[in-house]
Amino acid sequence: LFSAVTLAPRDPILGLNEAFNSDPRRGKINLGVGVYFDEGGRIPLLQATCKAQQSLLATPAAPGYLPIDGLPAYNQCVQHLLFGEKSELLQAQRVVTCQALGGTGALKIGADFLKTLLPDAVVAISDPSWENHRALFGGAGFKVQGYRYYDAQSQGVDLAGMLEDLRALPPRSIVLLHACCHNPTGVDLDADDWQVLISLIKERDLVPFLDMAYQGFAQGIYEDAEVVRLLAGSGLTFLLASSFSKSFSLYGERIGALSLVCASSGEAERVRSQIKRVIRGNYSNPPIHGAALVSTVLGSAELSALWQQELTQMRGRICAMRQMLAARLGEQVSGRDFSFITRQRGMFSYSGLSAQQVDRLRDEFAIYAVGSGRICMAALNHSNLEQVVSAIAKVL
Ligand code: PLP
Ligand code: TYF
């Protein structure tokens, strides 16, 4: 049965982790994977979740099955965070939100559901994008193609190219959009760009699917959800995959959500029933713990405020590292402008390092980055920054 099975390539990012872990060199640095590390190089256990954990432990309960679409209190908190407590869409019961296994699980449920509605649709993803987008939508049976996004010349968005490529898509194509903190480039659309894009989506009858894995890492929880409010106000129906892996530092709990904005409450009820069917056929129902933690935090004004403070600290630390990296590289490498590092948002910097330079960083300096030149700003700290600066200066 298995004799003809060939060896699959490693995931370009998670595979790097495996290589990093088995590297025996002391002082090695992992700037590959998109995970937030604190100044001490550890994944932080947030105080807000720690307190939520304690209160959950005080009232132990056997883990029965959750409803197919997840913990109701959790789904409600998620809706408030994404759409705002006073959202007209929520009041009109036009939004279906289902707990999902991280942002990845939300994308997968959304993709499987869309496949039943639009079996022949093209899925358009940004060039470049998170590698897993292609795998997820390709795996759900869609043809996946890229649209122009990053402009290496200006180190910004190629908006004209993006619009041209989206305009050329057949109606009812699915357009995957990074809501904020674009992975891997760190380059986002601004509010005016989003408005232009939304008009085009309407005009061309495209299906927007937002991916928001880094809410809170650009400017703040509210600010980073701007595109969600713009789409909500546009009258369009759309899908939104969201995740608490990064913003709550709950990577291994696999906690996220899929939200679907529908045209009416009746439509929402029918959509929910079909989404539940997709979930049932995949994993039946989701695990409890992550949802219990997040809803305990978001359901408490005090813990929620504490969480926002901790998130603000994470964001601030990344910005400080951006400033330091740009400044120190500017001092070490003459004749080059590194200010683009401070303009990029979220966890990553698209550094412009070539694949060869990334190889040299790994082979000669034990510094791991993604082959595309993406480096994780959240893995830098005051102890490793100089080592990274001097290695980058040497390979440049
Ligand atoms: N979407 C993007 C753009 C990501 O970078 C990630 C990263 O992990 C995800 C989705 C998935 O997140 P999760 O770990 O919650 O599945
Ligand atoms: O881009 C990243 O590094 C994160 C983590 O298959 C990640 O999004 C990377 C690859 C993957 C799953 C998560």
How far, in Å, CA of 184 to CA of 352, rounded? Answer: 11
Q: Which residues of 202-238 are buried (b: 16+ CB within 10 A; e: fewer)?
A: eebebbbbbbbbbbbbbeebeebbbbbbebbebebbb
Q: DSSP of 239-276, one letter per residue?
A: EEEEE-TTTTT-GGG-EEEEEEE-SSHHHHHHHHHHHH
From residue 328, alpha-carbon distances to 7, 250, 309, 343, 391 in Å are: 42, 32, 28, 16, 12
How far, in Å, CA of 393 to CA of 333, rounded? Answer: 6
Q: Which ligand is nearest to the CA of 214?
A: 1
Protein residue closest via CA to atom 5 of ligand 2: 34
Average pLDDT, the chain: 97
What is the CATH T-level fold of the domain 63-299, as seen in this structure?
A: Aspartate Aminotransferase; domain 2 (3.40.640)
From residue 384, alpha-carbon distances to 366, 371, 378 in Å are: 12, 20, 12
Protein residue closest via CA to atom 7 of ligand 1: 213
Please name the residues in contact with 162: beta carbons below 8 A apart, sequence gap of 6 or more. 126, 147, 148, 149, 197
pLDDT at site 88:
96
Please name the residues in contact with 66: beta carbons below 8 A apart, sequence gap of 6 or more. 99, 285, 286, 287, 288, 291
Ligand 2: atom nearest CA of 132 is 6
pLDDT at site 351:
87
CATH of domain 14-45+303-395: 3.90.1150.10
User: How does DSSP classify residue 204?
Assistant: T
Ligand 1: atom nearest CA of 245 is 15
Give the active site residue among 51, 188, 246, 307.
246
Q: 352-386 pLDDT, tens per residue?
A: 899 999 999 999 999 999 999 999 999 999 999 99
Query: Can you give the residue ranges of every domain in the chain?
Result: 14-45+303-395, 63-299
How far, in Å, CA of 25 to CA of 207, rounded? Answer: 48
Cα 98 to middle of ligand 1, angstroms: 17
Residues with CB under 6 A from ligand 1: 34, 102-104, 130, 178, 183, 211, 213, 243, 245, 256
Residue 86 designated active-site = no
Give the active site residue among 69, 112, 158, 211.
211
Cα 110 to middle of ligand 1, angstroms: 14
**Residue 15: pLDDT over 90:** no
Residue 211 designated active-site = yes
Cα 33 to middle of ligand 1, angstroms: 11
Q: Is 74 in the pocket of ligand 2 (CB under 6 A)?
A: no
pLDDT at site 301:
97
The two three-digit tokens of residue 24, written as one number = 């025996």
Q: Is 359 in the pocket of ligand 2 (CB under 6 A)?
A: no
Phi and psi based region of residue 92 (left: phi greater than 0; alpha: psi -120 to 50; beta: remaining): alpha
Q: Of the ranges 16-20, 105-109, 250-254, 278-282, which one carries the lowest mean pLDDT score?
A: 16-20
Q: 102-159 pLDDT, tens per residue?
A: 999 999 999 999 999 999 999 999 999 999 999 999 999 999 999 999 999 999 999 9
**Residue 13: pLDDT over 90:** no
Cα 34 to middle of ligand 2, angstroms: 6
**Residue 10: pLDDT over 90:** no
From residue 356, alpha-carbon distances to 39, 155, 315, 362, 396 in Å are: 29, 20, 30, 10, 11
Give the active site residue among 115, 130, 224, 307.
130
Sequence-ordered strand ranges (E) for the chain: 29-30, 95-101, 122-127, 143-148, 150-151, 156-157, 174-178, 207-212, 238-243, 255-261, 348-350, 367-368, 374-376
Residue 144 φ then ψ, to 5°: -110, 130
